[in-house]
Amino acid sequence: MHRSVRIILINSKNELALVCADDPNMRSSDGTYAGRFWFLPGGKIEAHESMAEAVYRELQEETGLGAQDLVLGPQVWEGTVHLQKNGKPWDIQQYFFVVWTRNEHLNFYHLDSWESKCLEKLAWFSLEAIQNSQEIIYPVGLEELLPDILQKKFPEKPIRIDLNRKRG
């Protein structure tokens, strides 16, 4: 099982940073290719890293923001997603952390080979924009989970969320 962090990066306007990607080799566990999608920044926790170190490194790579730009908050959710990557089962345990920034300038800084091929853009989204989006945003149901987070109403311990939930 792979382990990764996902970051709920919030700016001073209470907007979230989302990354847009398209990878035909990434499919749901049943083999369905859904097309282009948006998701929270983050990625693999390296063997030598704590989760907090992975959060800072992933944000540096995927948004260009350094530790000086960030305030690390709590872990609020966790879950396991079952995917197919290049036709093989791929299970990822994901840990979701809240992070705040006042720096709204985002850019891809140091992407790995998959990210360079598949990541298309970064953008800030308001809760309303997420709620009204016709595009695929992961995790499915993010718009239902966000209001408490944006109001700083955090769970006492991380909530287990369904990362395999389908849209609609």
pLDDT value, residue 165 = 86
Topology, domain 2-160: Nucleoside Triphosphate Pyrophosphohydrolase (3.90.79)
Domain residue ranges of the chain, discontinuous segments joined by +: 2-160
Q: Is the pLDDT of residue 19 over 80?
A: yes
pLDDT tens sequence across 101-153: 999 999 888 887 878 888 889 999 999 999 999 999 999 999 999 999 999 99
For the full predicted model, state whether its pTM sits above 0.75. yes
pLDDT tens sequence across 55-106: 999 999 999 999 999 999 999 999 999 998 888 888 999 999 999 999 999 9
| Cβ contacts of 147-155, under 8 Å, gap ≥ 24 | 149/8, 149/10, 149/76, 149/98, 150/10, 150/14, 154/73, 154/74, 154/76, 154/98, 155/76
Q: What is the pLDDT averaged over residues 27-45?
A: 90
